[in-house]
Amino acid sequence: MATKKTSKKSNHPYSTPALSGVYREPPYEYRDSSTAVVQFETDAETLRNLVPEPLKPNKDNLMFVSVTDFMSSGFGRYLEAHIFTHATFQNRVVNYSIYLILDNDVAICGGREIWGFPKKLGRLHMNMTDDVVSASAERGGIELIKIAVQMSEFAKPEELSGSAEWITRKYIPSVSLGLPPEVDQLTSTVLTNINIREVYKGPATLDFGNSPADRMIEIPINKVLGGYYYRADITLPDGVVAHNYLK
């Protein structure tokens, strides 16, 4: 695990605009968030192209799509769709974030600028009718993500006890064309105070929409393996630089 480096602090506020920063310093506390997540198999070549070295994609070609109704201190309430996968980094299993769509500018700015989460603005819906939880994400008037999970049976929180570590590719281009990026690194952040409860599982469906601006349709859905619906509390702290591509 990389370590945090300390240096002289800037006298500038933590985020811009200086008059009224868009976000504050971590940690961010999330309470009673509800999530529907679908697990599926894709193909090895696609996963390899989505997961940058030195990360190693999982051998089962597993990917996940979640939609969460978040309630957070600092960010407020928002809906977020997340495409992610499992990978190996320095002989440990981690989560790697591939694509996020959400409806909150504060969470988009903070997520991109602090941790490097690849977030875009969109419109989302989440609904529970009868025994099915469904959710969707739209950008450009096109429904890009559509998931549904049948709450067929109770499940144990331990079934969702994967890695708490999230790796993202934080990338900031130079203001001058032709020069290297200002930032190109993998960041590592470990969630804390995780409390998962009210877990359901069952069969699930997943569809990606076709858009020239958002190409998740290029991710093959070879087999949908089922889904979960649950509530959770988490703490999102600051992280560390795990790998610097500029050194």
Model confidence over 8-33: pLDDT tens digits? 678 889 999 999 999 999 999 999 99
Q: Is residue 124 part of a domain?
A: yes
Q: Is residue 224 part of a domain?
A: yes
Q: Is residue 186 part of a domain?
A: no
Across the range 86-98, mean pLDDT stands at 98
Domain that holds residue 202: 28-163+192-238
The count of structural domains within the chain is: 1
- What is the model's pLDDT at position 11? 86
Say whether pLDDT at 3 is over 60: no
CA–CA separation, 128 and 135 (whole Å): 9
Q: Is residue 234 part of a domain?
A: yes
CA–CA separation, 37 and 66 (whole Å): 4
pLDDT band at 229 (very low <50, low <70, confident <90, very high): very high
CA–CA separation, 97 and 120 (whole Å): 13
Across the range 125-138, mean pLDDT stands at 98
CA–CA separation, 43 and 50 (whole Å): 11
Q: Is residue 115 part of a domain?
A: yes
Q: Is residue 182 part of a domain?
A: no
Q: pTM to 2 decimals? A: 0.95
pLDDT band at 5 (very low <50, low <70, confident <90, very high): low
Q: What is the CATH number of the domain that holds 152?
A: 2.40.400.10
Q: Is residue 141 part of a domain?
A: yes
Q: Is residue 187 part of a domain?
A: no
Catalogue the E-assigned strands of 27-182: 28-41, 56-57, 62-72, 76-89, 92-102, 119-121, 123-129, 132-139, 142-150, 153-154, 165-172
Alpha carbon distance, N-terminus to C-terminus of the chain: 17
